[in-house]
């Protein structure tokens, strides 16, 4: 039996204040007309009306992570001889991501398979991940581009969340599904949640039927995509792509990175920054050869990675949580869900014929 609790709406800020005392607390805030995860501050304008523009991915898989810093030292007696001193910092503060959506929480599970559940875990990602608690808000309605139910998720999916909150008329119903989550619910602010289970369940269920289903979720990730190797299809779909990184950088599941040494004279640091498979230089080799020189090949790889290659490697799990951000914010409105729908259906001529 999961631990449940109820929090009246007027006590939300009090709870956030309590959480921020012992944690680095990230909450969705409204800035101009953009929703962003920012450090909690009672003055800030909290926004739970719609999902944040960018996923909270960077809080655990940092967009710019210092792997270590280095320092070249000259030996005073023999200045021609230098030694190098390396320093790393793997201490991360206890952190809470508050008000993420189920698709955001699921995104971290997809990254976990690659960076934690493997022979050699990534210490930076694992370090932040272990210190982070995720408090998710279930979606009362779907938003433009959402398709979570087609990729094995849902607007009230608990996977990846330590606590799932559901907004009720006068308060929030909270349900912990991990020990980390349960610990946070032992707080005098809360009321008993058991009498609100039915109300919450009804709200959660209602949204499932409202989410658009561009393709069916029967055996997600296990069915082949019949048209995947038709290059004419990709040319037609990919020629409008402008090769920017908006889709991958807003994505809760993209995990590719680049490593750069940033050095000035004798000191520097090695940093790991996000990379995007839609950039030309993503596959650029040191020889100058680029095996994926055309835009359509890069789009094919992005879709292929999420819907074919990753599922092949990780038990049929699709590396997409259906958050819809890449669709919502693509400067040329390329829709990954439409592309996959066309690929799944070999009766359909091309994406263009959908309309």
Partner 1 sequence: MGSEKLKEIVSKVLPEVDVVIGYRQGFDQLHAIPHFITTPEHIDQLIWNPLCVHNLATYLPSLNKKAAVVVKGCDSKAIVQYMQEELINRENVVIIGIPCTGVIDVNKVLHAINYRPVKEVTFENGSILIRTSEGQKKLLLSDLYPDKCKTCQYPTPLVYDHLVGEPVKTDKPPESVDEEVREFEKKSIAERLAYWEKEFDRCIRCYACRNACPMCICRDKCIVESRDPHLMSQKLTPGEKLMFHMIHSLHLTGRCIECGECDRACPMGIPVSKLKKMINLGMKNRYGYIPGINPEDKSPLLVFSLKGENTEEQKP
- Binding residues vs partner 1 (CB under 8 A): 31-34, 36, 49-50, 53-54, 63-64, 141-146, 210, 212, 236, 239-240, 242-246, 248-250, 258, 260, 262, 271, 273, 276, 279-281, 325, 327-329, 331-335, 337-338, 352, 355
The nearest distance, CB 292 to partner 1, in angstroms, is 12
Nearer to partner 1, 86 or 242 (CB): 242
Cβ proximity to partner 1: between 8 and 245 the closer is 245
Structure tokens at 250: 């807003």
What is the smallest separation between the CB atom of 336 and partner 1, expressed in angstroms? 10
- Residue with smaller CB distance to partner 1, 183 or 242: 242
Minimum CB–partner distance for residue 8 and partner 1 (Å)? 24
Question: How far is the CA of 201 from the CAs of 19, 122, 130, 147, 324, in angstroms?
Answer: 26, 37, 30, 20, 24
Q: How far is the CB of 145 from partner 1 (least distance, A)?
A: 7
**DSSP class of 336:** H
Q: CA Rg, the chain, in Å? A: 22
Min. distance of Cβ 346 from partner 1 in angstroms?
A: 19
Distance from the first to the final alpha carbon of the chain: 47
Output 120 or 144, the one with its CB closest to partner 1.
Answer: 144
CB nearer to partner 1: pick between 63 and 195: 63
Q: Which of 111, 110, 108, 101 is nearest to 145 (CA)?
A: 101
| CA–CA dist 277, 158 (Å, integer) | 30
**Cα distance between residue 323 and residue 142, in whole Å:** 10
């Amino acid at each position: 039996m999961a631990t449940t609790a109820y929090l009246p709406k007027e006590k939300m800020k009090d709870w956030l204040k309590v959480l921020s005392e012992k944690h680095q607390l990230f909450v969705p805030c409204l800035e101009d007309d953009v929703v962003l995860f920012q450090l909690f501050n009672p003055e800030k304008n909290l926004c739970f009306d719609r999902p944040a523009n960018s996923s909270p991915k960077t809080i655990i898989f940092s967009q710019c992570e210092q792997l270590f810093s280095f320092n070249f030292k000259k030996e005073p007696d023999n200045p021609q001889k230098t030694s190098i001193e390396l320093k790393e910092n793997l201490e991360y503060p206890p952190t809470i991501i508050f008000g993420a959506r189920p698709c955001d929480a699921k995104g971290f599970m997809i990254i976990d398979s690659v960076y934690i559940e493997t022979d050699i875990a990534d210490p930076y990602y694992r370090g932040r991940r272990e210190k982070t608690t995720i408090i998710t808000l279930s979606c009362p309605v779907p938003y433009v581009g959402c398709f979570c139910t087609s990729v094995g998720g849902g607007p009230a999916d608990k996977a990846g969340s330590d606590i799932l909150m559901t907004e009720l008329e006068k308060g929030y119903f909270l349900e912990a599904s991990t020990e980390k989550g349960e610990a946070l619910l032992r707080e005098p602010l809360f009321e008993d949640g058991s009498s609100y289970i039915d109300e919450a369940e009804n709200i959660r269920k209602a949204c499932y039927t409202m989410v658009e289903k561009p393709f069916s979720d029967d055996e997600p990730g296990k069915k082949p995509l019949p048209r995947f190797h038709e290059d004419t299809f990709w040319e037609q779909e990919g020629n409008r792509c402008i090769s920017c990184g908006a889709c991958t950088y807003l994505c809760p599941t993209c995990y590719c990175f680049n490593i750069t040494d940033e050095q000035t004279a004798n000191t520097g640091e090695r940093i790991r920054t996000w990379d995007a498979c839609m950039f030309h230089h993503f596959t650029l080799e040191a020889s100058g050869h680029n095996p994926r020189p055309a835009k359509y090949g890069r789009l094919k790889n992005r879709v292929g990675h999420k819907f074919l290659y990753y599922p092949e490697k990780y038990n049929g799990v699709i590396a997409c949580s259906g958050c819809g951000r890449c669709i919502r914010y693509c400067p040329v409105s390329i829709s990954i869900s439409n592309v996959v729908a066309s690929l799944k259906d070999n009766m359909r001529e091309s994406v263009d014929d959908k309309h």
